[in-house]
Structure 1
Amino acid sequence: MKEKLAINGGPKAVNKEFLWPIFDAGDVNAVTRIAQSGKWGNPDCGDEVAKFEEEFAAYCGAKYAITCVNGSVSLRLALIACDVKPGDEVIVPPYTFITTASSVIECNCVPVFVDIDPNTYNISPAAIEAAITERTKAIIPVHFGGLACDMDAIMDIARKHGLRVIEDAAHGHGAEYKGKKLGSIGDVGSFSFQSSKNLTSGEGGIVITNDDELYAMMRSLRNVGRIEGGQWYDHYNPGCNYRITQIQAVLLSQQLKRLEAQTRKRNDNGLYLNHLLSKVKGISPLSRNEAITLHCYHIYIFKYDPAAFGGLSRNDFAAMLTAEGVPSFKGYPHPLYKQPLFQNKNFMCYAIPDHVDYTQVYCPNAEQACSSDAVWILQHALLGEKEDMEAFVNAILKIQTSQL
């Protein structure tokens, strides 16, 4: 007898709440200490920001880190420091959050969308190579869901053509490519600390680099154009006040203490889910090879085949899976270039050539991921136990059985 689905009023397959963010008395006490001190600002009221920057840079194996208000601004700081000029082209994937591309627009540059690899949902190196023109200045590979891009191939292409590489590691805290932390491989690594991220202070961002000149410029841009050693009211670069607070910094320092253990648990649970789901007809986990030495699974993604579920659409399947108690989502509804911002060229900037027409862009792999294939399980669910991963699979099997 088929079990009644939760979406139709039946019992859930998963009866556990997966909390996020995770905190304890240490986090509360640290924030309370700063609140009671009355010294909340940055940089004139304490050194918690500098302390966290040093900690995060060391954790990532980078020389420098500069905090800022969010992961969108961190990309903008990186682009400006990499000396993009109005009208320059920056290569980006279409399967990512809007700010990977909108930060390019904010710099008066042209986002060039290239397709993703259907097996990883990361930007395709071959597509990057094919899109390079004399106007190309930078590449922004996104380590989507915490799965590292093919950084060897991307860095080879960048060196060949003299391009900057800005790693969008908003999903990549703690993950590794060939033993190197994501964000530390390109010219700049950009991270977000928004509330859903694997390392969070509610909002915030950071950039890391090993380049002295890039560091000096990003630090200046973050602090209203001031430079190290300059006077408070001397402003050398077109920056803004993008500084975070002491409260955010101390919270991030506390959260950083548990990041490595959390990352390894997500990695182990992701591998276990891969093993279990590989046996389920119609479900295909995304690929990871030996170069992925640590996956942080900000999003666990699998591909869904409706033919194995009686023709049930991906959208209906995702709604049923959520109803069964799995923290899950169908993902992006369409690739970035189909957003009204790009379709209507509503850019409020002056350097996008008239011939740029995003209505003519078509990336088939990204289109298929958005329209029919991708299902996401969210990162806090990967902090559960093995029996929770088994319950997720049982929820999928319950749905499958109901449709056949």
Structure 2
Amino acid sequence: MSSPFNRRKFISSAAIIGTGLAVGVPHIVSAGTPTARPAILGGPKAHSGTFPSWPVEEAIEENGLTEVLRSKKWGRLDGVRMAKFETAYSKLLGVKHSLGVSSGTSALTTILGALDIGPGDEVVIPVYTFVATYNVVVLNYALPILVDTDIESFQIDAAKAKAALTAQTKVIMPVHIGGSPVDLDAFVAMGKQHNIPVVEDACQAHLAEWKGVKVGNYGLAGAFSFQSSKNLNCAEGGAVTTNSDDFITNCYTFHNQGQGGRSTSFSTGVGTRGTNLRLTEFQGSLLLSQMTRVVEQSNRRWENAQYLSRLLQEIPGITPAKLYPGTTKSAYHLYMFRYDKSRFAGLSREKFLRALSAEGVPNSAGYGQMNKSAYVTALATNKHYLKIYGEKTMKEWLERNQCPQNDVLTSTQSVWFFQNMLLGTKNDMEQIAEAIGKIQKYAAEIARK
């Protein structure tokens, strides 16, 4: 269906709006014709088409996989594609070294393994993140310190992260949630001041930039994921990035069973710990193929997200996630915004999301309260943790993990759209805004439904 938005009028208004709220600019989000009703109330869908599917695949992927199959060199130890990918990925990010590993979780595991993190150590992480960030700390029997969220950005609160540091803190591990950079200036300064390595969990942040430099360059190391939903994907895979010659050597050794060279042997390795987290040539081939279009896709997401933000900022009660001033580009793996039901006649977020789905706009409420989940709180009574830290310390750990701002964000406000939606057209973005405008106009009636 055609959108009722006047794009020329919007662009003229957007020049005044910029990235903030406009004063005195007419409300431009239209619900369509005056009689248009939300789809959940029997009206037509605002978005009747489909958003681009994911992943994108063409002949280049098929041909590359066939070449690997016929080469009979399927693993990185006797193949060439993983090395080619690592070189290409390093160039793409402007980083000195990249190491392909079997997942984003494996990238974090490799980094913590190379840093020899273990029992008695503390690792500072955000509470608003995928559980893998927590899991890699716990697998090392270290203590994950969950830090509250900056509710405006959805990112880890840098001031609260600094307050959480102790003499036992061995790693600061902020996550670029949704593909938008954390306040990297604050975290880099924090790490230098306290002589603690900063590890960027950039698993969602391919090609995101802080002050014109790609993320994954700022900490001692960065971790990326190539899982199937990610903006660069090969079904399962990941990468470690670093500008340190010594650290990449340690990472390679750790992920290759302690073997420091480019092959395995029948002898033991170096160091005291290692495992097998290698990536295959098949995935290396897929990544090289996917990289042929990753820059164009990244640019399209960024442009569409900026346009969508300007549209949504015109709807009272909808607040796009803040980007920190140093952000020159977000990867927009997720498009995140806050929903204020008081501007929607008290319509609950759950009913708002259902109404959005009925309009043909996929969505999610996003992450929950990890610090309060049984999965996490049970760590306080885990027999191994009690043996290492004692009952008193584990009770104190539960108390340290209170995150009131995250409670507010996750219980009533947070809403996500997905990266493939941002690969659509400007008309798609307009129809998303139209859908929300319709819901707001009829919010009281939807609430009674």
Give the alignment's TM-score, normalised by structure 2: 0.86
Q: 1:145 aligns with which of 165, 171, 178?
A: 178
1:161-180 matched pairs, under 5 angstroms: 161-180=194-213
Name the CA shift for 1:230/1:29 in 2 (closer, same or farther; >3 Å).
closer
Quote the residue 2:394 is aligned against.
Answer: 356
Residue-by-residue CA offset, 1:282-312 (whole Å, 9 max, x unaligned): 1011112441111110000111000111111
Quote the residue 1:103 is aligned against.
Answer: 136
Q: Distance in 2 between matches of 1:196 and 1:284?
A: 25
Q: 1:310 aligns with which of 345, 361, 365?
A: 345
Quote the residue 1:260 is aligned against.
Answer: 295
Does structure 2 retain, via aligned residues, the 8 Å contact 1:167–1:190?
A: yes
Quote the residue 1:52 is aligned against.
Answer: 85
Does structure 2 retain, via aligned residues, the 8 Å contact 1:2–1:402?
A: no
Gaps (5+ residues) in structure 1? Answer: none
Q: Distance in 2 between matches of 1:14 and 1:48?
A: 41
Question: Do structure 1's residue 378 and structure 2's residue 418 form an aligned pair?
Answer: yes
Name the CA shift for 1:229/1:99 in 2 (closer, same or farther; >3 Å).
closer
State which drifts further: 59-68 or 314-323.
314-323
Does structure 2 retain, via aligned residues, the 8 Å contact 1:306–1:312?
A: yes
For residue 164 of structure 1, give the secondary structure of its aligned residue in structure 2: coil
Q: Which is greater in Rg?
A: 2
Quote the residue 1:249 is aligned against.
Answer: 284
Q: Which amino acid aligns with 1:382?
A: L
Quote the residue 1:337 is aligned against.
Answer: 371
Does structure 2 retain, via aligned residues, the 8 Å contact 1:105–1:349?
A: no
Shift of 1:347: 5.1
Residue-by-residue CA offset, 1:153-211 (whole Å, 9 max, x unaligned): 11111111110111000110011000111111100100111111000001111111111
Quote the residue 2:95 is aligned against.
Answer: 62
Q: 2:47 aligns with which of 14, 24, 39?
A: 14
Q: Which amino acid aligns with 1:375?
A: V
1:169-248 matched pairs, under 5 angstroms: 169-228=202-261, 232-236=265-269, 237=271, 238-248=273-283
For residue 350 of structure 2, give the secondary structure of its aligned residue in structure 1: helix
Q: Which amino acid aligns with 1:249?
A: G
Q: 2:315 aligns with which of 260, 280, 293?
A: 280
Q: Distance in 2 between matches of 1:162 and 1:306?
A: 44
Name the CA shift for 1:289/1:124 in 2 (closer, same or farther; >3 Å).
closer
Shift of 1:327: 2.5
Shift of 1:389: 0.3
Shift of 1:320: 1.8
Q: Distance in 1 between matches of 2:91 and 2:390?
A: 42
For residue 214 of structure 1, give the secondary structure of its aligned residue in structure 2: helix
Does structure 2 retain, via aligned residues, the 8 Å contact 1:114–1:128?
A: yes
Question: Do structure 1's residue 119 and structure 2's residue 119 form an aligned pair?
Answer: no
State which drifts further: 285-294 or 200-209.
285-294
Q: 2:441 aligns with which of 390, 401, 404?
A: 401
Q: Distance in 2 between matches of 1:126 and 1:175?
A: 22
Quote the residue 2:360 is aligned against.
Answer: 325
Quote the residue 2:165 is aligned against.
Answer: 132
For residue 240 of structure 2, give the secondary structure of its aligned residue in structure 1: strand
Shift of 1:2: 5.3
Does structure 1 retain, via aligned residues, the 8 Å contact 2:182–2:324?
A: no
State which drifts further: 243-252 or 227-236.
227-236
Quote the residue 2:107 is aligned against.
Answer: 74
Q: Distance in 1 between matches of 2:421 and 2:389?
A: 42
Quote the residue 2:429 is aligned against.
Answer: 389
Q: 1:291 aligns with which of 323, 326, 331?
A: 326
Q: Distance in 2 between matches of 1:180 and 1:352?
A: 40
For residue 344 of structure 1, give the secondary structure of its aligned residue in structure 2: helix
Does structure 2 retain, via aligned residues, the 8 Å contact 1:106–1:349?
A: no
Quote the residue 2:29 is aligned against.
Answer: none
Shift of 1:264: 1.2
Shift of 1:88: 0.5
Shift of 1:102: 1.2
Does structure 2 retain, via aligned residues, the 8 Å contact 1:3–1:402?
A: no
Q: Distance in 2 between matches of 1:322 and 1:348?
A: 44
Shift of 1:250: 0.6
Does structure 1 retain, via aligned residues, the 8 Å contact 2:183–2:324?
A: no
State which drifts further: 286-295 or 5-14.
5-14
State which drifts further: 184-193 or 354-363.
354-363
Quote the residue 2:77 is aligned against.
Answer: 43
Pairwise CA RMSD: 1.7
Does structure 2 retain, via aligned residues, the 8 Å contact 1:331–1:375?
A: yes
Name the CA shift for 1:353/1:113 in 2 (closer, same or farther; >3 Å).
farther
Q: Distance in 2 between matches of 1:272 and 1:233?
A: 57
Does structure 2 retain, via aligned residues, the 8 Å contact 1:87–1:353?
A: no
Q: Which amino acid aligns with 1:30?
A: G
Give the alignment's TM-score, normalised by structure 1: 0.95
Does structure 1 retain, via aligned residues, the 8 Å contact 2:318–2:340?
A: yes
Question: Do structure 1's residue 25 and structure 2's residue 59 form an aligned pair?
Answer: yes
Q: Distance in 2 between matches of 1:231 and 1:271?
A: 48
For residue 124 of structure 2, give the secondary structure of its aligned residue in structure 1: strand
Does structure 1 retain, via aligned residues, the 8 Å contact 2:179–2:204?
A: yes
Q: Distance in 2 between matches of 1:190 and 1:347?
A: 28
Q: Distance in 1 between matches of 2:389 and 2:236?
A: 30
State which drifts further: 205-214 or 346-355.
346-355
